[in-house]
Amino acid sequence: YFAPSPPPHLSVFLFSRFGHYVAAVYEHESILSPAPAALVERRSALELMGRNLDIYEQQVQAAARQGAQIIVFPEDGIHGFNFTRSSIYPYLDFVPHSHSGKWNPCREPYLFNDTEVVQRLSCMALKNKVFLVANLGSKQPCERWDPRCPSDGRYQFNTNVALAADGTLLATYRKHNLYFELAFDTPPEPDHAFFDTPFAGKFGMFTCFDILFFEPAVSLIRRYNLKQIVYPTAWMNQLPLLSAVEFQQAFATAFNVNILAANIHHPTLGMTGSGIYTPVKSFIYHNMESYGGKLPEKGKEQSPPSFYAEMMYDNFTFVPVWGEKGELQICVCANTLCCYLNYRRAVLTDELYALGVFDGLHTVHGTYYVQTCALVKCGGLSFSTCGQEVTNATALIDFQLWGNMSTPYIFPLLLTSGITLDFADHMGWKNNHYFLSKNRTSSGLLTAAIYGRWYEKD
Ligand SMILES: *[C@@H]1O[C@H](CO)[C@@H](O)[C@H](O)[C@H]1NC(C)=O
Ligand SMILES: *[C@@H]1O[C@H](CO)[C@@H](O)[C@H](O)[C@H]1NC(C)=O
Ligand SMILES: *[C@@H]1O[C@H](CO)[C@@H](O)[C@H](O)[C@H]1NC(C)=O
Ligand SMILES: *[C@@H]1O[C@H](CO)[C@@H](O)[C@H](O)[C@H]1NC(C)=O
Ligand SMILES: *[C@@H]1O[C@H](CO)[C@@H](O)[C@H](O)[C@H]1NC(C)=O
Ligand SMILES: *[C@@H]1O[C@H](CO)[C@@H](O)[C@H](O)[C@H]1NC(C)=O
């Protein structure tokens, strides 16, 4: 169900081994501080966060009326972003990390000071009898004897809280893979956070950038055999491979889990894309409004067998996918990875596509090792436009894509025109190669990719 936007709000039925349950995610357009670097009083920080929490409250009521048993809100949705370490301090709640399951912030507000935000969230859960997951900034005093204790005597964490339908604080998670968030500290050890529900068993929790790393996301899922994930995020979309909905779906498929993913809604910063994903079906919200992608450049070039172009800051080796009819196989290699493509253009257009390969350490905006085979639509007709961000396509291409990947952690990506999603007909391992194939996408093809994460080489 899509509510009229704004506010975007999405809720669907999900099936679990316990039967079915109803989940909601809310893509919140947060009211931001106009001067996030300025130092303010706790009172005015609470006033600003209160305005966001008023909207949360309406959404919890609306979701509960529609039968939702759990609702998930995005990262940074309550306090916003662009703070410094000291300017965020008045926005931080004290969130006891070790008291999980024993404290009901709505019923026992007097137990700890500086817990106004958690109290409100707890009361919303209690009043509407719904499980609630939200993200907030938290503080934890530390002692001089602690060698990691920052010089200002406190830890500041980017924190998710999970509240039960009676308001009890069930679990907390402190973000491990921070994305240039100078206001926050990395917790000393990765949290493996999950909570139990009567309707679907255990839900694991992690946040935003964490989705790209082994710790804690992959190890959490493995260790507790989790089938349900809640995922607050504030994700800036990056095409062709890292659009929010594209990667959220690939993660659900790769690890055979349901994901309830709530992103923040700020199209001018490239932030949108939330959804409820099962391993085989997705319900998404993606609305970029003014977002148009780059203008195509017209031009003709020579036809070398392969060429280099930068895609998402990585130096990809590409070959053009030109054949107009019949079946052709093409191949492109880099380092130890070779990618192969069999294809047939079902609807002929003058759009340029290319098959790209990258096997190396990605170092811009985070350091992580990637092995990728990607069939992408180029921004225009010249080779230099391959790897650009493109949002529309009309070509229908039947394909089989495969590569001799060296990592078992594979995220199959299939993104179609207008940032819509599709599922492959077949995917999986065969003779040490990972395969992905699709005969008829529901609309024009933007990206079909085998995105491998080689965690050990980070
Ligand atoms: C936050 O910072 C980014 C760049 O660092 C800037 O583009 C954006 O406008 C800022 N947003 C707010 C709300 O201050
Ligand atoms: C809360 O703060 C007040 C004023 O600083 C203090 O007197 C009180 O003991 C604190 N309560 C708790 C539970 O820490
Ligand atoms: C993409 O397609 C939509 C609908 O088909 C159209 O309204 C929009 O203008 C197109 N955008 C671009 C950048 O071509
Ligand atoms: C990309 O890699 C190729 C092969 O290693 C190299 O020749 C080329 O200079 C690189 N391009 C850039 C922009 O680094
Ligand atoms: C992938 O295939 C290429 C070409 O056959 C080969 O050179 C390369 O060593 C293979 N990589 C791995 C990891 O087996
Ligand atoms: C997909 O198309 C190829 C030819 O392009 C054909 O060999 C194959 O059987 C088709 N697969 C399905 C599932 O229709």
Q: Which pLDDT belongs to residue 289?
A: 60
Distance CA 28, CA 42 (A): 23
In a domain, 351, yes or no: yes
In a domain, 302, yes or no: no
Torsion angle (degrees, nearest 10) of CA 71, 30, 265, 120: -10
In a domain, 376, yes or no: yes
In a domain, 262, yes or no: yes
Statement to judge: residues 278 and 323 lie in one domain: no
Statement to judge: residues 379 and 444 lie in one domain: yes
Cα of 113 vs centre of ligand 2, distance in Å, is 6
Token output for 176: 């491990």
Distance CA 394, CA 449 (A): 18
106, 123, 208, 386: the catalytic one is 208
Statement to judge: residues 258 and 397 lie in one domain: no
Statement to judge: residues 85 and 210 lie in one domain: yes
Statement to judge: residues 184 and 246 lie in one domain: yes
Q: Is 32 in the pocket of ligand 1 (CB under 6 A)?
A: yes
Instruction: Look at residues 222, 251, 285 and tell me which one is the last residue of a structural domain.
Output: 285
Statement to judge: residues 111 and 220 lie in one domain: yes
Containing domain of residue 397, as a range? Answer: 307-457
Statement to judge: residues 279 and 312 lie in one domain: no
Q: Which pLDDT belongs to residue 190?
A: 96
Distance CA 413, CA 312 (A): 15
Statement to judge: residues 325 and 225 lie in one domain: no
Distance CA 366, CA 402 (A): 27
Cα of 410 vs centre of ligand 3, distance in Å, is 31
CATH code of 197's domain: 3.60.110.10
Q: Is 36 in the pocket of ligand 1 (CB under 6 A)?
A: yes
Statement to judge: residues 374 and 249 lie in one domain: no
The tally of domains found in the chain comes to 2
Which residue type occupies 366?
G
CA distances, 408 to each of 222, 255, 371, 421, 429 (Å): 14, 11, 11, 23, 9
Catalytic site includes residue 149: no
In a domain, 295, yes or no: no
Distance CA 141, CA 97 (A): 12
29, 75, 246, 351: the catalytic one is 75
Distance CA 136, CA 158 (A): 6
Statement to judge: residues 336 and 232 lie in one domain: no
57 three-state secondary structure: helix
Q: Which pLDDT belongs to residue 298?
A: 27
Q: Which pLDDT belongs to residue 2?
A: 30
CA distances, 166 to each of 60, 125, 175, 306, 392 (Å): 14, 7, 25, 60, 46
In a domain, 297, yes or no: no
Question: Which ligand is the nearest neighbour of the Cα of 307?
Answer: 4
Instruction: Look at residues 252, 285, 318 and tell me which one is the last residue of a structural domain.
Output: 285
Beta bridge partners of 229: 204, 259
Taking CB atoms and a 6 Å cutoff, what residues make up the pocket around ligand 5?
336, 338, 404, 406
Cα of 395 vs centre of ligand 6, distance in Å, is 17
Q: Which pLDDT belongs to residue 325?
A: 58
Statement to judge: residues 163 and 41 lie in one domain: yes
Token output for 47: 């006033």
Statement to judge: residues 281 and 316 lie in one domain: no
Per-block average pLDDT, block size 10, for the chain (458 residues)? Answer: 41 69 93 94 96 92 92 97 96 86 93 97 98 98 93 97 97 97 95 96 98 97 97 95 96 97 92 93 77 27 68 94 69 94 84 95 96 96 91 94 97 96 95 94 95 97
Cα of 2 vs centre of ligand 1, distance in Å, is 29
Tens of pLDDT, residue by residue over 413-432, are 999 999 999 999 999 999 99
In a domain, 96, yes or no: yes
In a domain, 392, yes or no: yes
Distance CA 402, CA 435 (A): 4
